[in-house]
Structure 1
Amino acid sequence: MLTKILSRGGPAAGYLVIRYLKAVVLLAALPISLLLGWVIPGVTAGLVKLANSERYRAARYLGVPQAPPLPPALPRAPGDVATLFRDKSFRRSLRCLLMPLVMIPELLVAVISVIGVPSAILSMLLWWLAPGNFSLMGLDVDSWFEALTLGPLQVGVSLWFLGRVGPALARGHARAALSLLAPTESQLETSRLAQRVEELTKSRAGAVDSHGAELRRIERDLHDGTQAQLVSLAMRIGIAKQTMADDPEKAAKLLDDARDGAEQAMNELRGVLRTMYPPILADRGLAGAVSALCARCPLPVDLRLGDLGDVPAAVEAAAYFVVAESLTNITKHSAAGHVDVRMERRGPELYLAITDDGIGGARINEQSDLLGRGSGLHGMLHRVQAIDGHLELQSPIGGPTTVEVSLPCG
């Protein structure tokens, strides 16, 4: 019973004491804020931060999920009163000024909860050293009868405050802070839109970078591979044409070499095209293509396919390359012994999860580390973000590593 009272009352008393200290600071700073707040933008911005701090502490005390904070104060020039009073966050944060009105009752409850029992025990034991100088329940103690009567009563009242009154008052304060300092619906909508714009801007930049890198890779592959083969092919055919009349056998050999070069150029061109949109997707669909990837993996792969429904081509390609890159990374770097691949449709999204039992420690980096890890995951992230998807990597040291991807199919 006592443990339960302490577990409830201790955090409540601490919460109330911190609220009292903040209220004292706020009360002390109030005159200066009233005089200079409209001149110094940082003062009003600080009030908004205080409101968000109160909401954070209240949610943490109540054990509820963190609510969206108030948006930062609007930027304004010193003395710009018009912008100040248009600022919804500032107007909402003015409710913090109610804190000094309740700081004394809250402190009184916290002090009674924390000090009541030790004070009662000390007064019961030491009153005889200075009769009349020790008090219990607000009364001076002059006899053992008063000490043994008022002492237990004070202990009971203090425990009641600690276990009941303090937690109830702290919960009430926390709920009031969450309610009074909450942003309006229009602010929440504006904040969501701003966050969405920021996410789209980042994903667009990543998509542009990824697209540029992909174009440079294709150009390099065509220039260094296919183009060189075609140039060599043209030269061999030209030489064969010149030697046809004088040395038919040499010309025939050159034509045979040219045919081999043409086949090699075609194979390299197919390889380049395969990296743009794998033909196996058109032939066997996403499920068949992913099954083929898992079958070719040198590690044992447990593939679980759900109902995929109708998946757009761009999403199919992104999912295929995510699986291919993940299996390549696992084979090269993870020292895993088993891989689990799961793919299914979840409402309007295609869900994909690749898990391995390797050493973990994978990170998404723009450049490869000393072991050659990281850049592939960064490219995978860009490919997913380019179609407004979401990728999450969980890879603690020692494993396991899980890559979860959600791709919109709408």
Structure 2
Amino acid sequence: MLKKILSRGGPAAAYLIVRFFKSVTLLSALPISLLLGWIVPGATAGLVRFANSERRRAAKYLGAGEPDLLPPALPRAPGDVVTLFRDKSFKRSLRCLLLPVVMVPELAVTAFGVIGAPAAFLGMVLWKLDPGGFTLLGVPVDNWTEALTNGFGQVLSSLAVLGWALPALARAHAGAVLDLLEPSQEQLETVRLEQRVEELTKSRAGAVDSHGAELRRIERDLHDGTQAQLVSLAMRIGVAKQLMAEDPEKAAKLLDDARDGAEQAMTELRGVLRTMYPPILSDRGLAGAVSALAARCPLPVDLRIGELGDVPAAVEAAAYFVVAESLTNITKHSAAGHVDVQLERRGPELYLAVTDDGIGGARISEQSDLLGRGSGLHGMLHRVRAIDGQMELQSPIGGPTTVEVILPCG
């Protein structure tokens, strides 16, 4: 029973005692803060951080998870009172000044719960040294009857406060902190929009970089492959034209070579175009294209395709290349024996998951690791984010590895 009381009352007492000393510190710094806060921006910013720390500690005590925090104080120049009074986070954090008001009675209850029982035992034993000088339950003790009766009464009262009153008081204090210092819905919406803008800015920068790299790759493929074939083709036709009258047989052979070169150039050009938007998507749709990828994979692929509905072309291309790159990575690096691909429509979003039973340890990085892994995943991430999608990689050492992608179709 005593162990249960201590396990309930100990954390509550620690929480309230720490809150008391933090409130005393805040109260002692209040005069200087009021005088210098409007001049020193860091003072008001510190009050907002203090409010957020109190919210975190209250939520942790209640087991409520990570709470919504007040946005940081608005940046302002020293003496900028206008910005100071427009700062909603600062005005909300001023409610911290109410904490010292309630902490004095809370500390009195805490002190009785923590030291009431030990003080009772001491009073019961030592009252004889100074009759009437020791008090138990607030009553001076000058005989053994009062010492034993009031002493045991104080022990029971102290344990009751420690085991039941203090946890309730601590929960009430933590709940009040969460309510008083909770950011407004307008502030939360503003923070959400700012985070969204930051995410879109990063994804846009990544998309621009990825697009630039893709254009350079296409230019290099066209320059080194198709353009060289076309230049060679033009030279052969020119030579054949010059030899047409003098040596028709040799000219015909050159034209045959030119025809073969033209076919090779067309093949290379189709290969370049296929990396931009695979023709199979137009011919067979996303489900057929993914099925073809699974059929060409050297590993066994368990393919589960649900109802897809109408999927925008950009989303089809992104999903196709994610599956293609994933199967390539798995074949090259994972040492897997089986692959599972799931593709389905979930409301306004397209859900894609590729799982393998390989060795795991895959990471997303701009540069390939020693095994040549990572850069392909980085390109997949940019491709997904470019159309406002989400991608998550789970690849613990030893496997399995799962790539989950959610692409908006609206």
What interval of TM-score do these two structures reach, taking the shorter chain for normalisation?
over 0.9
CA distance in 2: counterparts of 1:176 and 1:327, whole angstroms: 53
Q: Deviations over 1:120-168 (max 9, x none)?
A: 45555x5388465765444566665555434443332222222221111
Taking a change above 3 Å as real, the CA distance of residues 164 and 128 of structure 1, as seen in their structure-2 partners, is closer
1:282 CA displacement? 0.9
Taking a change above 3 Å as real, the CA distance of residues 154 and 358 of structure 1, as seen in their structure-2 partners, is farther
Contact 1:127–1:142, Cα closer than 8 Å, also in 2? no
Q: Deviations over 1:164-192 (max 9, x none)?
A: 21111111111111111111222222222
Contact 1:38–1:79, Cα closer than 8 Å, also in 2? yes
Q: What's 1:314 paired with? A: 314
1:106 CA displacement? 2.2
Q: Deviations over 1:278-332 (max 9, x none)?
A: 1111111111111111222222222222211111111111111111111111222
The residue type paired with residue 365 of structure 1 is S
Taking a change above 3 Å as real, the CA distance of residues 137 and 81 of structure 1, as seen in their structure-2 partners, is same
Matches within 5 A, 1:355-374: 355-374=355-374
Contact 1:289–1:320, Cα closer than 8 Å, also in 2? yes
Q: What's 1:245 paired with? A: 245
Q: What's 1:233 paired with? A: 233
Matches within 5 A, 1:240-279: 240-279=240-279
Taking a change above 3 Å as real, the CA distance of residues 147 and 325 of structure 1, as seen in their structure-2 partners, is farther
Contact 1:338–1:357, Cα closer than 8 Å, also in 2? yes
Question: Is 1:127 equivalent to 2:126 in the alignment?
Answer: yes
Q: What's 1:287 paired with? A: 287
1:2 CA displacement? 4.3
Higher mean displacement: 356-365 or 169-178: 356-365
**Counterpart secondary structure, 1:399:** coil
Taking a change above 3 Å as real, the CA distance of residues 168 and 229 of structure 1, as seen in their structure-2 partners, is same
The residue type paired with residue 109 of structure 1 is V
Higher mean displacement: 53-62 or 41-50: 53-62
CA distance in 1: counterparts of 2:251 and 2:334, whole angstroms: 53
CA distance in 1: counterparts of 2:157 and 2:359, whole angstroms: 57
1:244 CA displacement? 3.2
CA distance in 2: counterparts of 1:3 and 1:288, whole angstroms: 66
Contact 1:357–1:401, Cα closer than 8 Å, also in 2? yes
Q: What's 2:50 paired with? A: 50
CA distance in 2: counterparts of 1:109 and 1:334, whole angstroms: 62
**Counterpart secondary structure, 1:342:** strand
**Counterpart secondary structure, 1:393:** strand
Question: Is 1:11 equivalent to 2:17 in the alignment?
Answer: no
Q: What's 1:183 paired with? A: 183
CA distance in 1: counterparts of 2:308 and 2:338, whole angstroms: 24
CA distance in 2: counterparts of 1:115 and 1:357, whole angstroms: 59
1:357 CA displacement? 2.1
Taking a change above 3 Å as real, the CA distance of residues 299 and 156 of structure 1, as seen in their structure-2 partners, is farther
Q: What's 2:110 paired with? A: 110
CA distance in 2: counterparts of 1:262 and 1:276, whole angstroms: 21
Over aligned residues, Cα RMSD in angstroms?
2.1
**Count of paired positions:** 409
Matches within 5 A, 1:73-88: 73-88=73-88
Contact 2:120–2:152, Cα closer than 8 Å, also in 1? yes
Taking a change above 3 Å as real, the CA distance of residues 252 and 206 of structure 1, as seen in their structure-2 partners, is same
Q: Deviations over 1:234-278 (max 9, x none)?
A: 122222223333333333332222222111111111111111111
**Counterpart secondary structure, 1:371:** coil
**Counterpart secondary structure, 1:405:** strand
Q: What's 1:91 paired with? A: 91
1:396 CA displacement? 2.2
Q: What's 2:63 paired with? A: 63
**Counterpart secondary structure, 1:402:** strand
1:394 CA displacement? 1.8
Task: Extract unaligned runs of 5+ from structure 2.
Answer: none
Task: Extract unaligned runs of 5+ from structure 1.
Answer: none
The residue type paired with residue 338 of structure 1 is H
Q: What's 2:377 paired with? A: 377
Matches within 5 A, 1:23-38: 23-38=23-38
Higher mean displacement: 350-359 or 381-390: 350-359
Q: What's 2:400 paired with? A: 400
**Counterpart secondary structure, 1:215:** helix
CA distance in 1: counterparts of 2:35 and 2:394, whole angstroms: 51
Identity between Structure 1 and Structure 2 (%): 79
Taking a change above 3 Å as real, the CA distance of residues 185 and 128 of structure 1, as seen in their structure-2 partners, is closer
Taking a change above 3 Å as real, the CA distance of residues 39 and 121 of structure 1, as seen in their structure-2 partners, is same
Higher mean displacement: 127-136 or 96-105: 127-136
Taking a change above 3 Å as real, the CA distance of residues 295 and 144 of structure 1, as seen in their structure-2 partners, is farther
Question: Is 1:224 equivalent to 2:238 in the alignment?
Answer: no
Q: What's 1:300 paired with? A: 300
Taking a change above 3 Å as real, the CA distance of residues 151 and 360 of structure 1, as seen in their structure-2 partners, is farther
Contact 1:131–1:141, Cα closer than 8 Å, also in 2? no
Q: What's 1:202 paired with? A: 202
